[in-house]
Amino acid sequence: MKNRIPDLRLMRVWRDEFRGYDLGKLRNDLLAGITVAAVALPLALAFGVASGATAAAGLVTAILAGLLIGGLGGAPHQISGPTGAMSAVLIVLASRYGLEGVWVACLIGGVLLVLMGLFHLGQIVNFIPAAVITGFTSGISVIIFVGQIDNLLGVQTPAAENTLLKLIQYARLDYVPNPAALGLGLLVILIMVLWPKHWNARFPGSLLGLVVATVTSMVLELDVPVIGNIPQTLWLDDRLAVARIPWDHLGELIAPALSIAALGAIESLLCGAVIGRQTGAKLDASQELIAQGVGNIFIPFFGGVPATAAIARSSVAVRSGGATRLTSVTHAAVLLLAALLFAPTLSRVPLAALGGVLAVTAWRTNDWAEIRDIFRHGFKSAISTFAITLVATVLLDLTQAIILGVGLSALIFVFQSSQTEVTYAPVSVDKMRKAGYEMRHQGDRILVVYIVGPVFFGTVSTLNGALAKLDGYEDVVISLRAVPLVDTSGISALADVIDRLEGRGRRVYLSGLTRPVRSYLERAGVIQRLGADRVYWSADQAIVAIDHYRAALAGQAQMG
């Protein structure tokens, strides 16, 4: 009962996490939190802008997510905040419905996440194939990169319905790039790419890039677009209020809210799985979903954008020695200090510098190892699923892309599963005797039919065709040992075959039934109609029983 009550579940998670906590672990958490904040600061600013909101909105989101979601989450190492994947969804939503639409969809998505956690629906994510996840991750990286072209070029082009239309706009060349902005963006990209990885753990290349680009812009007095005003408060002027809710478009925001909830669940639970493999810490999926939901319910009322767990920032927390959720809380506190103390400086960061950060982030978002595996092994089903999901993510939206990818994967699975094989093995009494079985009768007209694969609606035609003609045999043993599952169509097909053979005067036996298959056949009445004495654990047992039955009939005939 305790596991069903959220507050008691959270107390259990906290108790297990802080067992044996000491000053050494506290020091590690504080230092790791500072390191994570250094990584999160440029990303928070960049993803705020990339979401169609402001850099301040991204910063507020990172702070609140670190405090709320980090404190309530289902694992010690989860660091949540604005992410590239979420910004790819939000930029389209913001262009259609404005920030009010983003906030309301975030609120509804948060409620959905809480419900998913309360009803323990986190396992649904496990049914999304790896190729689908890799495909929409790559699609998101394309959206992120295309969304930063304006910032990199120092221009502002009209919004577009999707990424393809946006690229077509750029192809028209009806804009004039800002060379200074492009130079700053390329400078940040070079710094992030060339910055040594072992230095990156102490001072992130993304933060260095922003510092260098900002100082360069200020010293040379470059005429480039900048972030603009960063309020020294968590309570932004632009935030969700009841009076600003677009009630007329509320129904239209349900689908985007589903996308936000789906993405929040997928990213957060995948992050927990990845970090869990690194640390051995177990993720409480239901508690994590509740935490993500609570965070996304509150964040819009402060002017932030939807948040989710971030694998990159969580990995930094682990590598920096963070042991508990205090790392997340510390990172949020450091970001809050940065907003309060350095807001005037942050407001002068060039947008082109943020574009450079996100351009590199978009490239690194791709799961290149998984992509190489998909194409190296040459699995056509995985390649097609990956490609279609990628294209659907770019042209449609996340929810449609996932549905399309999962649907395609399901169709491929059904097709592959329908390759059920049926083979015949006529029984030789002599071979049975040589194998050590006591065979009393001399008749050999026994056939064993081996079915390999599931017996369901996709394999019924194969089964009927293979079992249409079994002439010349008195007894037929149907071995179902290699049948993992049956459905109602499969049961109906088996029952028809049995009735047809029995109607021709043959005796049918079943062997090798697994527990689920036997349960289904009993519930359908197939075993009852056939008789329990016709069901055996193995085909050999059935053959011996048939032989003894024939011998008994022969003995009775002689006595008669």
Return the pLDDT at 560. 57
* φ/ψ bin of 471: left (φ > 0), alpha (ψ from -120 to 50), beta (otherwise): beta
Return the pLDDT at 140. 84
* Residues in the chain, overall count: 560
Return the pLDDT at 1. 43
Q: How far is it, in rounded angstroms, from Cα 139 to Cα 365?
A: 10
* Sequence-separated contacts (24+) of 170-177 with Cβ below 8 Å: 177/153
Q: How far is it, in rounded angstroms, from Cα 420 to Cα 145?
A: 45
Task: Give domain limits for the chain.
Answer: 2-11+24-154+231-344+368-413, 421-559
Distances (CA, A) of 87 to 50, 140, 199: 6, 9, 28
Return the pLDDT at 65. 97
Return the pLDDT at 473. 83
CB atoms within 10 A of CB 519: 13
User: Which CATH superfamily groups domain 421-559?
Assistant: STAS domain (3.30.750.24)
Return the pLDDT at 296. 97
Return the pLDDT at 2. 45
**Which amino acid, one-letter code, is at 85?**
A
Residue percentage of the chain with pLDDT more than 70: 95
Question: Which tokens sit at 55?
Answer: 């850099």
Return the pLDDT at 144. 86
Please choose, from the candidates 489, 435, 432, 485, the residue with its C-alpha nearest in 3D space to the C-alpha of residue 460: 489
Task: Answer whether 70's CB lies under 8 Å from 355's CB.
Answer: no
| β partners of residue 479 | 450, 511
CB atoms within 10 A of CB 305: 33
Residue ranges for the chain with pLDDT beneath 70: 1-8, 201, 397-399, 417, 441-444, 468-471, 557-558, 560
Question: Which tokens sit at 501?
Answer: 């053979």
Return the pLDDT at 443. 60
Please choose, from the candidates 374, 468, 331, 312, the residue with its C-alpha nearest in 3D space to the C-alpha of residue 133: 374
